A = this chain, B = another copy of it.
């Protein structure tokens, strides 16, 4: 990423653009449109909404967690009527839950369903494939919006095969880049929705992007240095192979859960199969402030754990294990947690690191 910035209107740049967009398509597993913005991931949430919806449209969401709520807030800011269904945040959203609401929507008012694939704030993963299948089976025309910020290039996600309409992500998780890019995959139904969507849009407008992208350009000054980094990240993913990348994160996730279980602590996700491959969220015992533990670990071991967000503030901490990470990084990370638990006086059983090594070495 330290290469000199090249002329973003020149021929060399056009070739880079085409190469990058093809690579992004392969990661999203789509043959359709993809867009790359200089923006944070929340910009991609906004892009999904302003390109497909009109004020007063109804959108369905569930209480999956902090980031689901973040997308809901953006929608509300655009005058969308968001119907937020209650949901146990410790469980992955089920196809059944979605299907039930859609079945009841006889007037077909719901224009889109917001689903977070890996809810980073809770470490809970949802079976998006099942939801996509159920939605199509229902015959309901609602679009499926998926937040893949911490799942793309971490765990399996197939934009086309799973009938997703809009998938959004950022550069700083599975793509191993600094933050600063947001990426969107938009299927044909989402692209068509632009024609009737009346929300005003300019920066996020897909039609204009598509026109510029077709000739290898962007409708704004692109963040060239992050694009150079993206090229490198895509090459690294292709070299390792997406299946191997997924298997690696799955192993990290199993090892982290084994450690938590050995400590006698509770993983936030009720069902192991639904615990995120990117981040493991751990509840601290009652009366033990997770943020005090996090502060101690930062101070003592220079390691930054994720905080509990929203209602879980002080109640859980999150162990990230994604991106440019290996087995020994995980052992070191879990060692930092285990020593932190001890130093903070949180009741726990030793042996977490041992349990993780058992998984990693088998």
- Contact of B336 with A78 in the complex, beta carbons under 8 Å: no
- Residues in chain B near residue A225, CB distance under 8 A: 178-180
CB–CB A10/B202 < 8 A: no
Extra contacts besides A40-B220, A300-B327, A302-B328 (20): CB < 8 Å:
A5-B172, A38-B38, A38-B39, A39-B39, A42-B203, A46-B202, A55-B200, A74-B203, A79-B200, A170-B221, A172-B221, A179-B221, A179-B222, A179-B225, A180-B180, A180-B226, A328-B333, A332-B332, A342-B361, A353-B353
A224 at the binding interface (Cβ < 8 Å): yes
Docked-complex contact B219 and A42, CB < 8 angstroms: yes
Quick check: is A152 within 8 A (CB to CB) of the other chain?
no
Is B307 in contact with A335, judged by CB distance below 8 angstroms? no
Complex formed: what's the CA distance from A99 to B304 in Å?
53
Which residues A29-57 have CB closer than 8 A to chain B?
Answer: 37-43, 45-46, 55
- In the complex, the chain B residue whose C-beta lies closest to that of A338 is B357
Does chain B have a CB within 8 A of A329?
yes
Task: Give, as a whole number of angstroms, the nearest-CB distance from A180 to chain B.
Answer: 3
| Distance A39 CA – B354 CA, assembled complex (angstroms) | 43
The total of chain A residues at the interface (CB under 8 A) is: 70
Nearest residue (CB) in B for A6 is B304
Q: Which residues of A contact B (CB under 8 A)?
A: 1-2, 5-10, 37-43, 45-46, 55, 73-74, 77-79, 170, 172, 178-180, 199-203, 205, 219-226, 298, 300-304, 307, 326-333, 335-336, 338-339, 342-343, 350-351, 353-354, 357, 360-361
Chain B residues within 8 Å of A342, by CB: 361
A38 touches B339 (CB 8 A): no
The CA-CA distance from A304 to B9 in the complex, in Å, is 10
A350 and B353 CA atoms in complex are apart in Å by 11
Smallest Cβ-Cβ distance to A172: which chain B residue:
B221
